[in-house]
Amino acid sequence: MSTAPSDLDDLHVIIPAGGAGTRLWPLSRAGRPKFLLDLTGSGRTLLQQTWDRVTKLVPPERVHVVTGPRHADAVRAQLPGLTSVFVEPSPRDSMPAIGLATAVVLARHPEAVVASFAADHVITGEDRFADAVAQAVRTARTGAVTTIGISPRSPSTAFGYVESGAPLAVDGAPSARTVVRFVEKPDEETARAYLRAGTFSWNAGMFVTRADVLLGHLARLQPTLHAGLQRIAAAWDGPDAQTVLEAVWPSLTRIAIDHAVAEPVSLTGGIATVPGRFGWDDIGDFAALHELGVSGDTGVVWVDADGLVRTTGGVTVAVVGIPGAVVVQTDDALLVTTVEHAQRVKEVPAALAASGRTDLV
């Protein structure tokens, strides 16, 4: 029944589903994080959109979601076709999450290529996405850890960048290049220089790699973490899986895949990149949501104002004299801000938590 392309037979997709999205409060909450929400009004949550996208490339049984215990039930409920869920006992950042799934996949499929795609990004242009994934998989088979870099639309200071170097001449992946370096979120002047240079792309955290290659890098760069993951993977298909997971997990180094593997390996030429020429957004805040053209409520009365209004319905909203207004209401909370201040929304759940109102966080 699978319509997955036959040339991706070795591909497994890992979807790390974590991160609360505190800049999207009050829509996103600790117990109802961004990836579980239908932010774009499409009728599908961001997690479901991710699932829909990757199950066009691989059959459902080769999709693995890594999430926290608080969200495992919601993940299963949203994805009835999902067969593989890894429940992290506690959040340890992206390397343990992706590493766990990779180690288990590797134990079962020694030739597997794994691709990691965040659960809460928006992508448009699925053909271009599929093409980028196919080129990345072909590049990864050569032994390179391959990142899909997003062709930048603007000199954004909200993302890290990937600088590409020489073409790699991979068969079937004409766009693949070596990665010169990863750079952290730049200031605006630097971002403008990157955009002019034409050799920088946004780091969207999309990594495609042979499972054995990733684990090999880990063994060398993060041996303790690697050993822990190996212990869990060895027990995974046996009766002690949960016991071992819970015993070992807290000892794993808390580190992002960028710091654990991508950056150090780039120094020795082991990272490749292929360009992602599809539409992409991580919807980091309400300004991003507004920029995506999400219209929000209809029937809003705007007087010398515009912006994004989103309520639970049944209420007529009027905004007077505030360009770029952001008005977001849930059953128990109401946020009023502007797109200009969208980044600071994360201070609201922080303030609520500090004053003990954890029910609202």
- Contact window for a second copy (CB under 8 A) among 135-143, 182-190, 242-250, 298-306: 298-306
Contact 286/326 with Cβ under 8 angstroms?
yes
**CA dihedral for 108, 114, 116, 119, sign (positive or negative):** negative
Contact 14/115 with Cβ under 8 angstroms?
yes
- Rounded-to-integer distance, Cα 73 and Cα 85, Å: 10
95 binds a second copy (CB under 8 A): no
232 binds a second copy (CB under 8 A): no
Half-sphere exposure of 54 (CA within 13 A, CB side): 28
- Rounded-to-integer distance, Cα 74 and Cα 29, Å: 14
Q: Provide, rounded to whole angstroms, the least separation between the CB of residue 284 and a second copy.
A: 15
Q: Please identify, using beta-carbon distances, which residue of 267 and 334 lies nearer to a second copy.
A: 334
Residue 251: strand, helix, or coil = helix
Q: Provide, rounded to whole angstroms, the least separation between the CB of residue 332 and a second copy.
A: 6
Contact 174/272 with Cβ under 8 angstroms?
no
Q: Provide, rounded to whole angstroms, the least separation between the CB of residue 287 and a second copy.
A: 11
Distance of CA 250 to the CA centre of its chain: 23
15 binds a second copy (CB under 8 A): no
- Rounded-to-integer distance, Cα 182 and Cα 288, Å: 23
287 binds a second copy (CB under 8 A): no
Contact 95/255 with Cβ under 8 angstroms?
yes
360 binds a second copy (CB under 8 A): yes
- Rounded-to-integer distance, Cα 123 and Cα 52, Å: 11
> What does the angle CA 126 – CA 131 – CA 132 come to, to the nearest 5 degrees?
95
Altogether, the residues listed in the chain come to a count of 361
Contacts with a second copy, 336-355, as mask; x by CB under 8 A: xxx-xx--xx-xx--xx---
77 binds a second copy (CB under 8 A): no
Q: Please identify, using beta-carbon distances, which residue of 127 and 304 lies nearer to a second copy.
A: 304
Q: Provide, rounded to whole angstroms, the least separation between the CB of residue 330 and a second copy.
A: 8
Which of 238, 239, 314, 356: binder of a second copy (CB under 8 A)? 314
304 binds a second copy (CB under 8 A): yes
- Rounded-to-integer distance, Cα 129 and Cα 209, Å: 17
Contacts with a second copy, 97-136, as mask; x by CB under 8 A: ----------------------------------------
Closest CA to 232 of 358, 35, 96, 70: 96
Q: Please identify, using beta-carbon distances, which residue of 197 and 318 lies nearer to a second copy.
A: 318
311 binds a second copy (CB under 8 A): yes
Contacts with a second copy, 315-334, as mask; x by CB under 8 A: xxxxxxxx--x-x-x-xxxx
Asked whether the bond before 59 is cis by omega within 30 degrees of 0, the reply is no
284 binds a second copy (CB under 8 A): no
Q: Provide, rounded to whole angstroms, the least separation between the CB of residue 165 and a second copy.
A: 41
Count of residues binding a second copy (CB under 8 A)? 36
Binding site for a second copy (CB under 8 A): 25-26, 301, 303-304, 311, 314-322, 325, 327, 329, 331-338, 340-341, 344-345, 347-348, 351-352, 357, 360
